[in-house]
Amino acid sequence: MKDILIKIMPNVYELYKSVFNSIWETFIMVLISGAFGIVIGTLLGIILVVSSEGNLYANKILNGVLGRIINAVRSIPFIIIIALLVSFTRWIVGTSIGIRGAIVPMIVGIIPFVSRITEQALLEVDNGVIEAARSMGLSRFFIVRRVLLPEALPGLVRSIITSFISLIGLSAMAGTVGGGGIGAFAIRYGYQRYMHDITLLMVIILLLIVNFVQGFGNKFAKKVSH
């Protein structure tokens, strides 16, 4: 088995420790940026919905300004976001390269995406349920916390899973500018040094990670929907 691996993927065999390290770096990048980005993005998505016209906390100015900011950031390619945030990232974490340097732009890049898919999940809740809760005299905060969010939970779970999958892609892109993780490893060895077995392995690993996350998310979403 060892001889077959050396023959098929000689560079992978020599650099197997670095391969595991790159996977670990990607895990850290996605986990930390996801924790911050998904929480902030979800909150902004909730604000977008409840501040819309005719809703619980209707505020035309807040909704309009927040929506335009989210759309503006969302329209910027992630590579450009990394470049724009170099100074800010360095100020926040002390460096603009490596996994620490990638986390800040990943958070900024995922927030608008999470906000919009959270908004979509919440808008799918039957408005009749909300109106029934309002007619019972329940407070607006109670309706959001105990009616709107539970009703939208399956959609929110799918949104979170989709966000994590997007973050995996962002982490790979961050690697092209020294962000660390699987992307950086694939660029440094697979592309720059023509180690094609490294590139192939990184693609396979990304496919496995994405499929695992998607499969787990689908099962969890089915459980919370019953």
Residue 19, burial from CB neighbour count under 10 angstroms (0-12, 13-18, 19+): buried
225 sits in which H/E element = none
pLDDT over 60 at 202, yes or no:
yes
Separation between Cα atoms, residue 193 and residue 100, nearest integer Å = 25
Q: How confident is the model at residue 13 (pLDDT cuts 50, 70, 90)?
A: confident
Which pLDDT score, from 0 to 100, does residue 1 have? 57
pLDDT over 80 at 179, yes or no:
no
- Coil/strand/helix, residue 18: helix
Closest Cα to residue 160, out of 75, 64, 224? 224
SS3 content of the chain, % helix, strand, coil (to 5): 85, 0, 15
Who has greater pLDDT, 174 or 118? 118
By the 8 A CB rule, do 51 and 63 touch? yes
Q: What is the pLDDT of residues 16-58, one digit of tens each?
A: 888 899 899 999 999 999 999 999 999 999 999 999 988 889 9
pLDDT over 70 at 5, yes or no:
no
Which pLDDT score, from 0 to 100, does residue 108 have? 94
By the 8 A CB rule, do 129 and 151 touch? yes
Q: How confident is the model at residue 224 (pLDDT cuts 50, 70, 90)?
A: confident
DSSP line for 170-203: HHHHHGGGT--HHHHHIIIIIITT--HHHHHHHH
Please report, for residues 71, 120, 144, the alpha-carbon distance to residue 57 in angstroms, rounded to integers and kept in the order given.
21, 17, 10
pLDDT over 70 at 193, yes or no:
yes
Which pLDDT score, from 0 to 100, does residue 195 have? 84
Which pLDDT score, from 0 to 100, does residue 117 have? 95
Query: Taking CA 35 as the corner, what is the angle to CA 186 and CA 70, rounded to the nearest 5 degrees?
Result: 90
Q: Helical H runs in 59-195?
A: 60-74, 78-84, 86-93, 98-123, 127-135, 140-143, 149-174, 181-185
By the 8 A CB rule, do 50 and 144 touch? yes
Q: How confident is the model at residue 172 (pLDDT cuts 50, 70, 90)?
A: confident
Which pLDDT score, from 0 to 100, does residue 127 have? 84
Q: Please, which residues have CB within 8 angstroms of residue 116's CB and are 6 or more apart in sequence? A: 45, 70, 74
CATH number of the structural domain spanning residue 12: 1.10.3720.10
Which pLDDT score, from 0 to 100, does residue 62 have? 94
Which pLDDT score, from 0 to 100, does residue 35 have? 94
- Find the domain containing 51 and state its range: 1-225
Which pLDDT score, from 0 to 100, does residue 31 have? 93
Report the number of distinct structural domains present in the chain: 1
Q: What is the pLDDT of residues 95-128, one digit of tens each?
A: 888 888 889 999 999 999 999 999 999 999 888 8
Q: How confident is the model at residue 2 (pLDDT cuts 50, 70, 90)?
A: low
